[in-house]
Amino acid sequence: MQSGFKPFGGKDTGSFREHYFRTRIALTAIYTGILVVLLLVSSGVTREVFSERLSQRFALVIDRNDRIHPVVFPVNVTDVTAELSDTLLIVNGILVLLSVFISYRLATRTLRPIEEAYERQRQFLSDASHELRTPLAILQANLENERDSGNADLRASAENHLEEVKRMSVLVSDVLSLSKLEHTGSEAVRSALTVNDVLQNVIDRLSPIAAKHHVALTLEDAPETFNVLAAEEPLIRVLTNVIENAILYNKTDGSVTVSLEREDDSVRIDVVDTGVGIGEKDVQKIFDRFYRADKSRSRRTGGSGLGLSIARSIVEAFGGTIAMKSTVDVGTTVSILLPIHNAS
């Protein structure tokens, strides 16, 4: 069964390194294409001129009395022309390979300032996140002490401040996670995992939250056992984020249904809810960083606006895709495709 989903983020798919690599290849192709066109034109013109001269030189002979005679010695103009073509092919082939190398170096040099600027930005975010975690932890501990004190006035004030500190801690943690993902990418340590077991673990963890929000959380029986090559904790984070969103943005007495199904050489994980849904315009941007369709509700639920962006980065690092289909007041379906790992 083919999925009707398409991977999101046409303008923002994958990490910066993927964009950088694609741009470098594109520039290389452009430079190489220009050189190839010039070589083809040069080869064509040279071949025509040389063929014409060969025909004029060997087809007829002019004696001392300016009389024209047919060629009396064996000359095969076709063979000579073929030799010329072979020579041009070899020479131009070498030139094309050389042009590809030079073009790739030029593309790399052209993009180097962009790469350096990105690395500085990524390093700054990583360093800032690290530095903020300690004071936030200290501040949170102090506020918790004030909240637990006997002073009613201090307790109310500390409770409000503690909520903001926790939200800031989540944001800092998410920024740090995203920075690490962009740096390591697919280099993360992976192993063969049974998706069925990982998903059951996530469902068990989130069942109390679903019950608290009066949402029925169901995991349908899978037709078979699916193994993927991934890192367990990041995969759990992806599934937790998607399913938890389906619970939090649902309606009272709504439902969330999770299913597993094979699609070609991949396993498709569908998370279907009967929630509030989001508009088509928001769906196109839902995986962008810091984008929140309902900013007021996201703030109440403590979201940072980075959860789905992190989920997409993790899924793509595992060679998969994540997509969303949603209708306002009807519900949302998130589909995750991961390549099936066949142990040898």
pLDDT at 98 over 70: yes
In a domain, 21, yes or no: yes
pLDDT at 204 over 90: yes
In a domain, 6, yes or no: yes
In the predicted model, what is the mean pLDDT of residues 276-296?
73
Domain boundary at 186, 220, 251, which?
186
Range with the poorest average pLDDT among 152-156, 231-235, 246-250, 317-321: 152-156
264, 232: one domain? yes
In the predicted model, what is the mean pLDDT of residues 291-317?
67
259, 275: one domain? yes
pLDDT at 192 over 70: yes
Could you tell me which residues come within 8 angstroms of residue 228 by beta carbon, excluding any fewer than 6 positions away?
A: 192, 193, 195, 235, 267, 318, 338, 339, 340, 341
Q: Write the CATH number for 273.
A: 3.30.565.10
Q: Is 13 helix (H, G, I), strand (E, B) or coil?
A: coil
The total number of structural domains that make up the chain:
2
287, 241: one domain? yes
In a domain, 82, yes or no: yes
159, 279: one domain? no
Q: Which domain holds residue 256?
A: 188-339
User: Could you tell me the strand order of the sheet in which 331-339 lies?
Assistant: 216-219, 255-263, 266-273, 331-339, 321-327
198, 216: one domain? yes
148, 247: one domain? no
Look at residue 196 in the predicted model and tell me its pLDDT.
93
pLDDT in tens, 2-42: 444 444 443 443 456 667 777 778 777 887 787 777 777 77
Range with the poorest average pLDDT among 118-132, 150-164, 242-256: 118-132
In a domain, 262, yes or no: yes
Tell me how far apart the terminal alpha carbons of the chain are, to the nearest angstrom. Answer: 26
Structure tokens given for 287: 């995986």
- This prediction has a pTM of 0.55
262, 168: one domain? no
217, 250: one domain? yes
Domain boundary at 126, 154, 186, which?
186
> 265 or 79, which is more confident?
265
Mean pLDDT computed over every residue of the chain: 75
Name the percent of the chain lying above pLDDT 70.
67
81, 205: one domain? no
175, 211: one domain? no
In a domain, 344, yes or no: no
Range with the poorest average pLDDT among 74-83, 268-277, 295-304: 295-304
In a domain, 288, yes or no: yes
Domain boundary at 163, 186, 209, which?
186
75, 131: one domain? yes
162, 241: one domain? no
Look at residue 8 in the predicted model and tell me its pLDDT.
41
Look at residue 5 in the predicted model and tell me its pLDDT.
45
Distance between CA atoms of residues 128 and 130, nearest Å: 5
